[in-house]
Structure 1
Amino acid sequence: MASRTGTSGSASESRMHLLDRFISARVSASLFSEGWGDEAALTGPSLMSHLCPEVRPLEVRWARPLTQGRRLVVDGFFDSPCPLLPQEVRQGHLRRISAKPGPVRGACVILAASRDEGYFLRSWLFAPLAEQGIDVFLLENPYYGVRRALGQRGPHVRTVSDQLTMNLATIEEARSFVAFAKAQGYERVAVAGYSMGGFMAALTAATLPMPVGVAALAAGASPAPVFTRGAHSRSVNFRALSLSTSEGEARTRLASILDAASARTLPPPPQPDAAVIVACAKDGFVPLAEAQTLHAHWAGSELRILDAGHISAVFTEGPALRKAIRDAIDRVRV
């Protein structure tokens, strides 16, 4: 069910939130500056065929926990289950945030948004869930932060094939985290994320054999329009992608490649009624229509539409974003 009715399509220039418009006007074309990358990785089998047939738990090595007020914070390390990653990217990193001993409702892994390096922003936004009985786990994204590839400058992924490898590895690591959490005794487990992290959470839930809660925040069914039509498309170096073709043809090809990993190509998750999809009515980055498409494909899911923009929601809608995660966890049947 939808909490309110929204207008289909991406936010028009007049409806786009001012903060989205301000940010998008100042981004540089820093993504895919080295072009398409490995052509063999851009075509071929479906997403499911690239994933490990058996979901195995992560083997996490934990550091010493630190006390931060009423919370316990501990960092962990693991070997990524994705064999496609470069050697320097393969060691995974995650952070657990929990409250001091008390009742636990469940666990949630929260995946990174585009260019979200480290844990600061997600900790600020989602750590309050710990006091509400939800153990929060933050995965450092492949190719971000301490997991950058050799020669990569900042969080700017250099090629389209690197982007696809990043996304595949994120899904694989999130799937293995769910198996890890189940093995640790958590009865209710959810996957969540904002923007790109929400897309990855949706694909993770749809490729798991077991039911999980999912909170797809400011995300939808496909990343194709985000990279080729929305405000985020200004970050893409289409000049590098169109050296041997026109920019229009490069946009069309990129959209086709990314849309091959749309959630529409996958069955709904095992328990779609434990899925909460959150969209922003004034989103200039992720079209509202994409969230509506995901909601329609996942019959039984809930769509909530916030009166906010893609950027502003992070700063003004924290309680609503956290509530979506709580509700997704509480709806998992055990």
Structure 2
Amino acid sequence: MGVSRLDKFYRRLLLTKLFIGGWGKPEDLKRIFEFRKIIGNREKCRFLVPENYPVYINKTEDHSDCQIHEGFFISPLEHLVPGILPPEAVNARFQFIVPKRWKKNRPVCIHLAGTGDHFFWRRRTLMARPMIKEAGMASLLLENPYYILLRSSLKNVSDLFVMGGALILESTVLLRWLEREGYWPLGMTGISMGGYMSSLAVTNWPKPIPLIPCLSWSTASSVFTTGVLSKAVNWTELEKQYAINSVYEEEIIKLLEYCGHFCFLRSFHADNTPRDNTPRGKNTDSTKYSRPSLHRESISFMKGVMDECTHMANFSVPVDTSLIIGVQAKEDAYIPRTGVLSLQEIWPECEVRYLNGGHISAYLFKQNVFRQAIYDAFDRFCLKYPNLH
């Protein structure tokens, strides 16, 4: 199966560069990788977020078919890994869209934001409001930590990992709050990056829950190394930092568990290219280290750090994978599936539905298919766990 021409064309229209700041502070990477070892294990996370974690509603708007509540709470990541979040993102913000008339039960689906999905209007217009009309289902839209007030893309590679840790914990806060408020059943969804993040969040939830990841897959590593978004990555800066600062190769690689240190060394030196073994330091001129293998080493390092923090095999398996319905585009050029474990290999009972076309066409024209998958997953949950509330 080929890849979508529209995906390639659309990517060329966008001038945005990813990771213009580089890898991020080495100390931040070390801290988030160590925290990943905790948050990747559901049992270790049972008591990270208190049951009665405070959530506040500070605004309510009344509409003909629904009420729209806006609220906030302090991200638990600020307590657990102090200072890792930018100050603007310490307060997690959300919008809760509740129908005035419920059709059956009081179902709520949490929607996590896709790449560039700033604020709430896109998810509210394309998903939440139609879901009220079609199914009488409420939606809770959680703002992305790096999109709150910033309106910017990810500046550092480490930002993506901090975002993931924050969203896992923030989703737990909201699921517990919704339970306390008497809503049922509860589920999670997201499109593109939102699909990845909702999948990560569900791995941490200790109960069966519907999950509907749309246009996402088992890891983000291929997105930034072989997908069309890899062309938007600022490889020049990443290679420069990797060459100058030995901490990435000598210390951070050793923290990666998914691929392992030996795998990286083998990948780096597979071409038998002689290396310049001159000691490196932070203030060394990077031009001295323009070795032929540097680009390949940087890509391998990117794959390793991405797999460490985004690969579903590095996290607990959701409690009931039969409640997962993924929706994929057959010709998706943004989310390559070749060469990586499939969702079915990691979560054997999950269902994957395939759409014709690519990432962009699916996002623009198949929102109704995403919504139907949500309804089907919720129905499946209600049939299997009618008394689990």
With the shorter chain as reference, the TM-score category is 0.7 to 0.9
Deviations 1:55-109 (A, max 9, x none): 4355222133223332221211111111132332101110111221323451111
In the alignment, the residues of structure 1 paired with residue 54 and residue 356 of structure 2 have an alpha-carbon distance, to the nearest angstrom, of 41
What residue identity is the alignment partner of 1:139?
L
- How far residue 318 of structure 1 moved from its aligned partner, in angstroms, is 1.3
RMSD over aligned CA atoms reads 2.0
Question: Are 2:57 and 2:72, in contact at CA under 8 Å, matched by a contact in 1?
Answer: yes
What residue identity is the alignment partner of 1:256?
G
Q: Which moved more, 1:21-30 or 1:201-210?
A: 21-30
In the alignment, the residues of structure 2 paired with residue 101 and residue 155 of structure 1 have an alpha-carbon distance, to the nearest angstrom, of 37
Whether 1:109 and 2:110 are equivalent positions in the alignment is: yes
In the alignment, the residues of structure 1 paired with residue 145 and residue 234 of structure 2 have an alpha-carbon distance, to the nearest angstrom, of 21
Whether 1:73 and 2:68 are equivalent positions in the alignment is: yes
Question: Are 2:89 and 2:145, in contact at CA under 8 Å, matched by a contact in 1?
Answer: yes
Whether 1:213 and 2:262 are equivalent positions in the alignment is: no
Question: Are 1:32 and 1:157, in contact at CA under 8 Å, matched by a contact in 2?
Answer: yes
- How far residue 216 of structure 1 moved from its aligned partner, in angstroms, is 0.7
- How far residue 143 of structure 1 moved from its aligned partner, in angstroms, is 1.0
Q: Taking every aligned residue pair, what percent have the same amino acid on both sides?
A: 28
Question: Are 1:29 and 1:237, in contact at CA under 8 Å, matched by a contact in 2?
Answer: no
What residue identity is the alignment partner of 2:143?
E
Evaluate the alpha carbon distance shift between residue 293 and residue 49 of structure 1 in structure 2; reply closer, same or farther with a 3 A threshold. same
Query: Which residue does 1:253 correspond to in 2?
Result: 301
In the alignment, the residues of structure 1 paired with residue 193 and residue 7 of structure 2 have an alpha-carbon distance, to the nearest angstrom, of 16
Query: Which residue does 2:96 correspond to in 1?
Result: 96
Q: Which moved more, 1:321-330 or 1:243-252?
A: 243-252
In the alignment, the residues of structure 2 paired with residue 195 and residue 64 of structure 1 have an alpha-carbon distance, to the nearest angstrom, of 29
What residue identity is the alignment partner of 2:152?
P
What residue identity is the alignment partner of 1:259?
D
Query: Which residue does 2:251 correspond to in 1?
Result: none
In structure 1, runs of 5+ residues without a counterpart are: 1-6, 8-14, 149-153
What residue identity is the alignment partner of 2:316?
P
- How far residue 141 of structure 1 moved from its aligned partner, in angstroms, is 0.3
Residue 249 of structure 1 aligns to a residue whose secondary structure is helix
In the alignment, the residues of structure 1 paired with residue 95 and residue 223 of structure 2 have an alpha-carbon distance, to the nearest angstrom, of 28
Deviations 1:208-233 (A, max 9, x none): 21121100100111000001110111
In the alignment, the residues of structure 2 paired with residue 290 and residue 188 of structure 1 have an alpha-carbon distance, to the nearest angstrom, of 36
Question: Are 2:59 and 2:71, in contact at CA under 8 Å, matched by a contact in 1?
Answer: no
Structure having the larger proportion of residues in helix = 2
- How far residue 196 of structure 1 moved from its aligned partner, in angstroms, is 0.7
What residue identity is the alignment partner of 1:252?
S
Query: Which residue does 1:276 correspond to in 2?
Result: 325
TM alignment of 1:118-267, pairs within 5 A: 118-127=119-128, 128-131=130-133, 132-146=135-149, 148=150, 154-243=151-240, 244-245=242-243, 246-261=294-309, 262-267=311-316
In the alignment, the residues of structure 2 paired with residue 250 and residue 69 of structure 1 have an alpha-carbon distance, to the nearest angstrom, of 53
Residue 23 of structure 1 aligns to a residue whose secondary structure is helix
Deviations 1:228-275 (A, max 9, x none): 110111221111101153222211111100101210122320011111
The higher-RCO structure (CA 8 Å, 6+ apart) is 1
Question: Are 1:219 and 1:291, in contact at CA under 8 Å, matched by a contact in 2?
Answer: no
Residue 182 of structure 1 aligns to a residue whose secondary structure is helix
- How far residue 50 of structure 1 moved from its aligned partner, in angstroms, is 4.4
Question: Are 2:344 and 2:351, in contact at CA under 8 Å, matched by a contact in 1?
Answer: yes
Query: Which residue does 1:307 correspond to in 2?
Result: 356
Q: Which moved more, 1:28-37 or 1:247-256?
A: 28-37
Question: Are 1:94 and 1:138, in contact at CA under 8 Å, matched by a contact in 2?
Answer: yes
Residue 218 of structure 2 aligns to a residue whose secondary structure is coil
In the alignment, the residues of structure 1 paired with residue 35 and residue 343 of structure 2 have an alpha-carbon distance, to the nearest angstrom, of 19
In structure 2, runs of 5+ residues without a counterpart are: 79-83, 244-293
Question: Are 2:106 and 2:137, in contact at CA under 8 Å, matched by a contact in 1?
Answer: yes
What residue identity is the alignment partner of 1:214?
L
Query: Which residue does 1:33 correspond to in 2?
Result: 20
- How far residue 48 of structure 1 moved from its aligned partner, in angstroms, is 4.4
Evaluate the alpha carbon distance shift between residue 109 and residue 304 of structure 1 in structure 2; reply closer, same or farther with a 3 A threshold. same
TM-score by length of 2: 0.76
Question: Are 1:32 and 1:158, in contact at CA under 8 Å, matched by a contact in 2?
Answer: yes
Q: Which has the larger radius of gyration?
A: 2
- How far residue 53 of structure 1 moved from its aligned partner, in angstroms, is 4.1
Q: Which moved more, 1:46-55 or 1:177-186?
A: 46-55
Q: Which moved more, 1:66-75 or 1:300-309?
A: 66-75
In the alignment, the residues of structure 1 paired with residue 307 and residue 200 of structure 2 have an alpha-carbon distance, to the nearest angstrom, of 12
Question: Are 1:221 and 1:290, in contact at CA under 8 Å, matched by a contact in 2?
Answer: no
Number of residues paired by the alignment? Answer: 315
Query: Which residue does 2:57 correspond to in 1?
Result: 62
In the alignment, the residues of structure 2 paired with residue 312 and residue 101 of structure 1 have an alpha-carbon distance, to the nearest angstrom, of 33
In the alignment, the residues of structure 2 paired with residue 91 and residue 99 of structure 1 have an alpha-carbon distance, to the nearest angstrom, of 26
Query: Which residue does 2:85 correspond to in 1?
Result: 85
- How far residue 29 of structure 1 moved from its aligned partner, in angstroms, is 5.3
Evaluate the alpha carbon distance shift between residue 88 and residue 166 of structure 1 in structure 2; reply closer, same or farther with a 3 A threshold. same
Whether 1:49 and 2:38 are equivalent positions in the alignment is: yes
Evaluate the alpha carbon distance shift between residue 193 and residue 291 of structure 1 in structure 2; reply closer, same or farther with a 3 A threshold. farther
Q: Which moved more, 1:185-194 or 1:66-75?
A: 66-75
